[in-house]
Chains A and B, each alone.
Chain A
Amino acid sequence: ETGVTQSPTHLIKTRGQQVTLRCSSQSGHNTVSWYQQALGQGPQFIFQYYREEENGRGNFPPRFSGLQFPNYSSELNVNALELDDSALYLCASSWGERETQYFGPGTRLLVL
């Protein structure tokens, strides 16, 4: 059974740029959730995708967007990067929207 994988592991961008982060869900899982973890904080929910549809969104602006593909992998896109977007971005997958979520290793984004 393959766990949740994310790419890239680290990324450095400058303010105003756009970034795409990728996530492959655990084998057999059809739901992907994205979280932002700032330094010293717990993860904060960005949004969830269930069967290729956005299934809920946290308190993040529209410049945070996503996609889920037919194989249930997912992308997180962030436009017009701001310094405060610097964080660890976590992807979690689950079998179903309300089932236990299993996390990937994260992508650490630094915005300069």
Chain B
Amino acid sequence: AQSVSQHNHHVILSEAASLELGCNYSYGGTVNLFWYVQYPGQHLQLLLKYFSGDPLVKGIKGFEAEFIKSKFSFNLRKPSVQWSDTAEYFCAVTSSGAGSYQLTFGKGTKLSVIP
């Protein structure tokens, strides 16, 4: 069974600081990887996704993530965070094999950005 581990439960940063949120997954086959964000009071929104090709993926609002297959990792980065990035961030994986329709989520990382 696949699983996703997010290393940080709560991250607190000042505005303009750089962000990196860790995500590791366990699955031996081909995977599709996602980062979703949940802003306070809003529903889960897709930030970015990786299916194949360039392992450096750019998403909305200046976020990017790098897929490192050898490390089973898909870390999320942003060079300079803003107060409006305060939210909960979820890494998720689905595999490309048969029966691979379900998203498996990590427990989430809460990001608080201090003005």
Q: Residues on A close to B: CB < 8 A?
A: 4, 31, 33, 35, 40-45, 48, 50, 55-56, 58, 90, 92, 97-98, 100-106
Contacts and interface: CB of A to CB of B under 8 A. Distances in A.
Contacts of B104: 45
Contact of B108 (A35, A42, A45): A42
B44 A43 contact: yes
Contacts of B34: 100
B103 A104 contact: no
5 cross-chain pairs, A with B, having the tightest CB-CB distances, nearest first = A42-B105, A45-B102, A103-B44, A105-B43, A97-B101
A93 B102 CA distance: 12
B28 to A, nearest CB: 18
Interface in B1-50: 4, 32, 34, 36, 42-46, 49
B101 A106 contact: no
Interface of B: 4, 32, 34, 36, 42-46, 49, 90, 92, 94, 96, 99-108
Given A33-B101, A48-B101, A104-B43, A98 B96 contact: yes
Given A43-B103, A98-B101, A100-B34, A106 B108 contact: no
B43 A106 contact: yes
Contacts of B32: 98
Nearest to A6: B43
7 contacts: A44-B105, A90-B43, A92-B44, A98-B101, A100-B46, A103-B45, A104-B43
Contacts of A35: 103, 105
A44 B4 CA distance: 12
Nearest to B43: A105
Nearest to A100: B49
Contact of A98 (B49, B94, B105, B108): B94
